[in-house]
Chains A and B, each alone.
Chain A
């Protein structure tokens, strides 16, 4: 047989399909390039290339069916089977020609993206795109091509073969998650680190489908009606078996759900030593049956979540502690959160109170911060009473400031309290007696990495000799990135992970990258910590659409896991597995507002949520509050 003649005949046979597929796959990237050109950015394609190559596997299947059907329809099949042709050789040649044509079609938008971005895009090509987004659709396209090819040899009806091939392909893509292979995260297990079962499936399937097609053609296998019902029955049986042996993969299991009483404010969960305090008035005790709430003190009267509000013997709200007439007050931590210290039978908490007066009318009014105090409160009877106070007003080096920035952290018996760019170090061995150890004004500076996050950058090391080096580095990184105006969770969480003498920290959606990124501390000296981007786990399109946590969402690292949540989604990532970031699980309640969370001693997660009946964020009498005990995903 003349190989060149057969190749020519095959290409002529599918040329219109190839041209149609080429048009379909190129139209969106070209349109995007035109839109970019009209916007003055340059003639290049960006996001639409991904959309186009996602269509690639569908089109590859179409080319496979068109390729086979041409020679397997009844009349032509009888003709060429009557000739002394080597069936296996002919089918092999058809398979290869179609496959090469399909890959060329899929390569077109990729090449267009590559070339147009090099020439016209100022930011150059996106290596991430070529590294992670291009290989997977190509591998899937090879798989769908082979499956559709084999199906068409067997079924000999273009459309039905294409459908069955696609259906089988989809099933094979979901299969690894149903087998006990510990697959949890599509991004890190499949897109980035799929070089195991997934790759095996994508390589073995085409080979198996090809061999099957050869034999089917050689022995003239043709799907008959009786065989069809047998296949349906077989597929149904396989599906039932898969269902019986599969289990939930990435959903975080709810161990207990409890509706709780709530007066006002925001639900808060804070650590007090090894225990967790809910809303400032109850300990949460974790036991075998779940958790229970135990009131702090006698517990007859509810303590208010704000630090200087209590109740008198008649149950009326009263204000404790000093206040300054004509001045407004801001408290850190906010929203009823507190920094507790468990001292044996007694429990204390610390808070920073800033007093300011306003001049002028909003929105042009100015705030003058004049007084700021560090206070300790002790639980006595049913209330929190102030027991000691330190005047740290000189931390406000700039008294006219529209914002008050504060942070606190308790390390052993040392409390570091930061106000704007200054800090004080206080001995809290006896929380009822605060002793000032050190005070430094205007020493806290903030540095951000450059736009190119892959460049090495430095963070100033906080000049506190009291703590060990690791603690200083952790403190410095948190102060640099978590010491925000308004809300911050500096007092009870950190974004730094220390493991095997290696330090790393994590960002979400940082510098416009829609991902969870890891930065390693590579070295340090007396003044600076030097850091470098290590790796990241991008959010999928679906995660971005349905609400992945963003830049300002609460996030923290604890025991090798990164926890982050927005109003209705909690995500847990493993950050120590092979130095990669891997999603372990999610917990979603679309009509809930997650208010606070804590990780208990046994690893389980405690979540305080508000039920939001109409997805609206205003408070109403219908609001309900719940505590959830969740199993920490492994």
Chain B
């Protein structure tokens, strides 16, 4: 049954993979071909835009779509635990986000072929941004799993971005290193700063697991709002 749920979500969200994948491929090819800026700068530019855009696209209607259409009633009548419904959505979205970053990272490597940076350097940086995007999406799930419209979801996602932006800015300016490690954006700086990457990743995994549990609980208890 879980497989069928995954298949349903995959089909419903395939346009996002198609849209983000096509946009990433188009802009990667364009920028790496015309080379207005160096490859590493191109990589940073594309990866950062992806880091913000891809979670937004996935978060738009992943939960709110079912609620605004009222199809969530039908979904809840299927004899499967609700946590499975939640995780089918989350896994498909996570797989999509990972796939998009993988495609663009590999394309960057293919187009640059180590001409300006070491082989796999661009892929590694793009993957770190992908990890950050996934963590941001996880945080969105906690706050946005009960959103009732696409606009609500968009505001929640922007709220997550800016909320972590505030923490990141504060922790950098006030030099609060422990707080900085909780910020998803710190994943993107791991290769540059080389400050405690193991701890940063570990903390991010633990925090994401906790946030995911909260998101799942909120989704399971969604009937109160319908």
Which A residues fall within an 8 A CB radius of B? 17, 20, 24, 27-28, 31-32, 35, 48, 62, 66, 157-159, 162-163, 166-167, 170-171, 174, 177-178, 184, 186, 239, 242-243, 246-251, 542-543, 545-546, 569, 586, 588-591
Contacts and interface: CB of A to CB of B under 8 A. Distances in A.
B39 interface: yes
Rank and list the top 10 A-B pairs by shortest CB-CB distance, nearest first. Answer: A251-B35, A588-B38, A159-B60, A590-B117, A542-B41, A159-B150, A588-B116, A249-B34, A248-B35, A20-B155
A186 B37 contact: yes
23 contacts: A27-B166, A31-B170, A35-B174, A48-B169, A163-B57, A170-B27, A171-B26, A174-B27, A174-B34, A177-B36, A186-B37, A242-B30, A243-B30, A247-B34, A250-B37, A251-B38, A542-B44, A543-B41, A569-B38, A586-B37, A588-B39, A589-B116, A590-B118
Interface string B6-38: 000000000000010001001101110111111
A250 B35 CA distance: 6
Nearest to B35: A251
Contact of B40 (A167, A247, A546): A546
A590 B40 CA distance: 9
A162 B166 CA distance: 25
B151 interface: yes
Interface string B117-153: 1100100000000000000000000000000001100
A27 B162 contact: yes
Most-contacted residue by chain B among A27, A242, A542 (CB, 10 A) = A542
Nearest to B61: A159
A589 B121 CA distance: 12
Given A248-B34, A588-B38, 11 more contacts: A20-B155, A20-B158, A27-B166, A31-B170, A35-B173, A157-B150, A158-B150, A174-B27, A184-B36, A243-B29, A246-B30
Nearest to B65: A159
Contacts of A246: 30, 33-34
Interface residues of B, number: 39
A543 B165 CA distance: 22
Nearest to B64: A159
Given A32-B169, A159-B150, A591 B34 contact: no
A171 to B, nearest CB: 8
A159 B34 contact: no
B30 A174 contact: yes
A569 B39 CA distance: 12
Interface string B83-98: 0000000000000000
B17 to A, nearest CB: 13
B45 interface: yes
B81 interface: no
Interface in B41-69: 41, 44-45, 53, 57, 60-61
Interface string B149-178: 011001100110010011001100110000
A556 to B, nearest CB: 21
B38 to A, nearest CB: 4
Nearest to A186: B36
A268 B77 CA distance: 77
Contacts of A162: 154
Contacts of A20: 155, 158
Nearest to B20: A163
Nearest to A175: B30
Contacts of A167: 23
Contacts of B173: 35
A178 B116 contact: no
Contacts of B158: 20, 24
A588 B40 contact: yes
Nearest to B163: A27
A516 to B, nearest CB: 16
A166 B70 CA distance: 29
A249 B121 contact: no
A522 to B, nearest CB: 35
B133 to A, nearest CB: 16
A630 to B, nearest CB: 13
A197 B33 CA distance: 21
Given A159-B61, A546-B40, A590-B117, A35 B155 contact: no
